[in-house]
Amino acid sequence: MLTQRLQQKLQQKLSPQQIQLMKLLQVPTIALEQRIKQELEENPALEDGSENEEDQIQEDDYDDGKDEETETSDDEFDLSDYVDDDEIPDYKYNANNTSKDDEEKIIPYASGSSFQEIITTQFHFKDITEREEAIGDFIIGNLDDSGYLNRELEAMVDDFAFTQNIMTTVEEIEAVLQIIQSLEPPGIGARNLQECLENQLKLKDTDKREIAVALKIIQRYFLEFSKKHYSKIIQRANISEEELKLAIDEILKLNPKPGNSLIDSIKVNQFITPDFLIENDDGELVLTLNGRNMPELHVSRSYKDLFETYNISTKKDQKQKDTVMFIKQKLDSAKWFIDAIRQRHQTLLLTMEAIMAHQYEYFTTGDETNLKPMILKDIAEKVNLDISTISRVVNSKYVQTPFGTFLLKSFFSESMQNTDGEEVSTREIKKILMDVIEAENKKKPIIDEKLVIILKEKGYNIARRTIAKYREQLGIPVARMRKQL
């Protein structure tokens, strides 16, 4: 049975302008530059002030008028928004720390051949047939960035049949693979770490005792070596501890990822553009927002004049009405975008100032042990903003300090209580844990149970599982894997 009834419901809905601001808060400086360029291309009513300063008008100096034929209940602005020249000019809201005469010097980087191209060039110089060349090129194309072939030869037989229309065998592919493994750098084309290290050792002088022992260890006792069961290797290989030490020294000289030696020389250099700059001026922290290469936006004078011309017309046909609405939409969009950029700058500065004040001791000393516990809620309460807004602000943002450039998220951490009842940051505990492990005797690394006791003596009562979690987060292996002869 169908029924009708009235119902009142209170619902919060974000306006398009609020959504635009939230999106702009998320993007870092480098992405914001691209977003502004995109808006300049899409909206002809928005202009870059640096190109035409003399004719610049501020975004507060235009509006649509109140023509009763074009005004609707959804109008955000009236005529005074567009034509009132008594508003505060936009330049008073802007902080520009750079001159237009400043040179932007960019270091050029030469592009090189790709990893596969370097290997392929070497392979083609070998005395090979066209069939071997086709098989070899396919194998090289399947090498990963580390230089390994992670594809079973049996599966590659089917690959050649279906994709290359070449009927081959595992033995033929193996023979071509041997040629590839003879190329530079040594160890290229291996199917696993053991084969990679073995191939590199075979190219050395195996008449030397330490090389021969190293090759024997990799070929026969690789599992024990990978788990650092040195006592088992000494016993089973019938060698002395000194011979094992010399052999391990030779193994450590090998490259476990031979492909990286080529990738490092051809990879694209990536630069971090900091969003904030913090300088220490005799104990006083000075914060600036990175605004280099940011254009000074304003609303187009020509669009404003065009709007006024159409708007003052008493008689308008449908085409003129559509024109007025189009111009108004573009002018409104330009103003909204400029306002959103301004609000973004204000929100970012407000949030970063709160973070800087909270972590003042760290930003003045650079000592990680001075980092205080800090979560998003702490900053949100200080600046009276929502936690989600703070999360957007710190997302993918970097700050340049006198001690380096850091991801803003790295300054946030949970808190724990020490034995004195004081709140300390988990970052501080991790730093102390790392210092203890770095200072340990590598012949007898400290196990997690002993680390619990050491940190307790330093005033941090932490469980063993928490020690293990922090150690894994820091990328530190277990004690057995840290052992050295």
Find tokens 């602000």 and name the residue: 393
Short-list 339, 345, 326, CA closest to 299: 339
pLDDT on residue 98: 55
pLDDT on residue 270: 60
pLDDT on residue 105: 47
pLDDT on residue 198: 93
Angle made by CA atoms 362, 367, 369, in degrees to the nearest 5: 90
Give 40's Cβ-side CA count (13 Å radius).
16
Cis peptide before 477 (omega within 30 of 0): no
pLDDT at 218 over 60: yes
Tell me the angle at which helices 16-26 and 318-358 cross, rounded to the nearest 10 degrees. 40
pLDDT on residue 125: 92
**pLDDT band at 55; cut points 50, 70, 90:** very low
pLDDT on residue 221: 93
Residue 82 in contact with residue 63, Cβ under 8 Å? yes
Q: Which residues pair with 281 in a beta bridge?
A: 284
Of 31 and 99, more confident? 31
pLDDT on residue 60: 45
333/327 Cα distance (integer angstroms): 10
CA-CA-CA-CA dihedral for 129, 135, 136, 140, to nearest 10? 160
Q: What percent of the chain is predicted at pLDDT more than 90? A: 23
Domains of the chain: 16-94+272-412 (no CATH), 115-264 (no CATH), 415-485 (1.10.10.60)
pLDDT at 201 over 90: yes
28/114 Cα distance (integer angstroms): 30
Cα-trace Rg, the chain: 33
- Over residues 403-454, the pLDDT tens digits come to 888 888 888 877 776 666 666 778 788 888 888 998 888 888 888 899 988 8
pLDDT on residue 292: 65
Instruction: Please classify residue 194 by burial: count the beta carbons closer than 10 Å to its beta carbon, then call 0-12 exposed, 13-18 middle and 19+ buried.
Output: middle
* Mean pLDDT for the stretch of residues 226-236: 90
145/7 Cα distance (integer angstroms): 62
Least confident of 303-317, 318-332, 451-465: 303-317
pLDDT on residue 64: 46
Residue 398 in contact with residue 408, Cβ under 8 Å? yes
Which amino acid makes up residue 395?
A: N
Structure tokens that stand for 36 in this block: 């502004």
* Residue 168: how many other CB atoms lie within 10 Å: 19
Residue 259 in contact with residue 143, Cβ under 8 Å? yes
Q: What percent of the chain is predicted at pLDDT more than 70? A: 79
Query: Under 8 Å CB-to-CB from 484, ≥6 apart: which residues?
Result: 442, 443
* Mean pLDDT for the stretch of residues 29-38: 82
* Mean pLDDT for the stretch of residues 65-72: 41
Angle made by CA atoms 241, 242, 248, in degrees to the nearest 5: 90
- Over residues 83-141, the pLDDT tens digits come to 444 445 554 445 455 554 554 444 444 455 677 888 999 999 999 999 999 999 999 99
**pLDDT band at 293; cut points 50, 70, 90:** low
Find tokens 């060039």 and name the residue: 121
- Over residues 269-291, the pLDDT tens digits come to 567 788 889 998 887 889 888 87
Structure tokens that stand for 309 in this block: 């011309």
- Over residues 339-366, the pLDDT tens digits come to 888 888 888 899 999 999 988 888 888 8
pLDDT at 308 over 80: no
- Over residues 159-193, the pLDDT tens digits come to 888 888 889 999 999 999 999 999 988 999 999 99
Least confident of 8-17, 391-400, 413-422: 8-17
What integer best gives the mean pLDDT of the chain? 79
pTM of the model: 0.54
335/333 Cα distance (integer angstroms): 5
Phi, psi at 181, each rounded to 5°: -70, -10
CA distances from 421 to 272, 416, 418, 424 (A): 39, 9, 5, 9
**pLDDT band at 57; cut points 50, 70, 90:** very low
pLDDT on residue 212: 93
pLDDT at 62 over 50: no
pLDDT on residue 263: 57
pLDDT on residue 42: 85
188/77 Cα distance (integer angstroms): 67
Short-list 173, 137, 124, CA closest to 153: 173
